[in-house]
Amino acid sequence: MSSATPSLRLSQLQMDWLRPARARLLRIAGIGGATTVLDLGCGWGLTTADLAERSEVNVVGMDISPTMVENARANLPERLRDRVQFVQNSPDSIELPDRSVDIVFTQCAMMWMADVPSVLSECQRVLKPNGRLAMIEPDYGGMMEWPETICTREIWIDCLVRAGADPMIGRKLAVHLNELGWEHEVYFLDRYEAGLAEAIEFLAELDTTEQQRQQLLLAQKLMTEGSRAQPAHVVHLPFWMYVARHG
Ligand SMILES: C[S@@+](CC[C@H](N)C(=O)[O-])C[C@H]1O[C@@H](n2cnc3c(N)ncnc32)[C@H](O)[C@@H]1O
């Protein structure tokens, strides 16, 4: 497993946190009328299975990591096996025919793609006429934290950049889409939950420096002091949600 894919436990947490956002985005993208959906950068395949559970669609989960493709196949519930398949792709090509997909979905995956414009061009190629690209991607540059002693934002940005990700992908996708001629609508995650101490565990899976580890221990201590009902801290990570169409 590379740092691009969190552990199974954390991926499950992320999947649960983003469930309401995913439901809203996929409703707007019209998953009800879709027959084929691509989950690009599927990791463990949790979102792929979730897409299949939501409707009667056929879903292709795709990832550049052969290990993750194997893991995703092994994790897939038996009842979904006739409608879900997992395929490995190369960094900037999607192993599907032209005009074969109704919706391309990504969750926390564009941020790990080295050449986003090429990937968007591939999305355009595989989408059917009137196909939709639905993306949920974070923007760590907009992370809000309080009190001041909780200061993980700069650590996130540093660790993600060093791991090869783009921590500010959320805002940048709008520019990439505009440049490539996509029409798009943007939504934001409109549900707030007090930042959970588990968020720090995501960071621990990245390569942190000794000084960063000390800062995180302090933040973790502060975060566990409050309760979920009355948190002693606030941490909010904005997620950008896009529904895009190419003329
Ligand atoms: C943070 S994980 C997200 C997994 C899943 N979407 C989820 O939300 O649970 C990002 C995944 O994108 C994959 N990835 C990175 N670049 C890719 C590319 N060019 N094409 C396909 N997958 C890619 C990584 O291997 C990793 O499994």
Q: What is the pLDDT of residues 212-245, one digit of tens each?
A: 999 888 888 877 777 767 777 788 899 999 999 9
Give me ligand 1 centre to Cα 63, in Å. Answer: 6
Residues in the chain: 247
Closest protein CA for atom 13 of ligand 1 = 41
Give me ligand 1 centre to Cα 231, in Å. Answer: 32
Domains and CATH numbers, the chain: 8-139+166-192+238-246 (3.40.50.150)
Ligand 1 atom nearest residue 115's Cα: 19
| Side chain identity at residue 208, one-letter code | T
**Ligand 1 pocket, 46 CB below 6 A?**
yes
Q: What is the pLDDT of residues 173-206, one digit of tens each?
A: 999 999 999 999 999 987 766 666 777 888 888 9
Cβ atoms within 10 Å, residue 191: 11
Q: What's the whole-number mean pLDDT along residues 101-108?
A: 98
Radius of gyration of the chain measured on its C-alpha atoms = 18
What pLDDT sits at residue 195?
67
- In terms of DSSP H, where are the helices of the chain? 8-17, 19-28, 46-54, 66-75, 116-126, 153-163, 169-179, 198-204, 210-225
Give me ligand 1 centre to Cα 216, in Å. Answer: 25
Give me ligand 1 centre to Cα 43, in Å. Answer: 5
Where do we find the tokens 């990832």? 63
What are the phi and psi torsion angles at 58 (to 5°)? -90, 135
Question: Using an 8 Å Cβ cutoff, are 87 and 61 in contact?
Answer: yes
pLDDT at 38 over 70: yes
What pLDDT sits at residue 196?
67
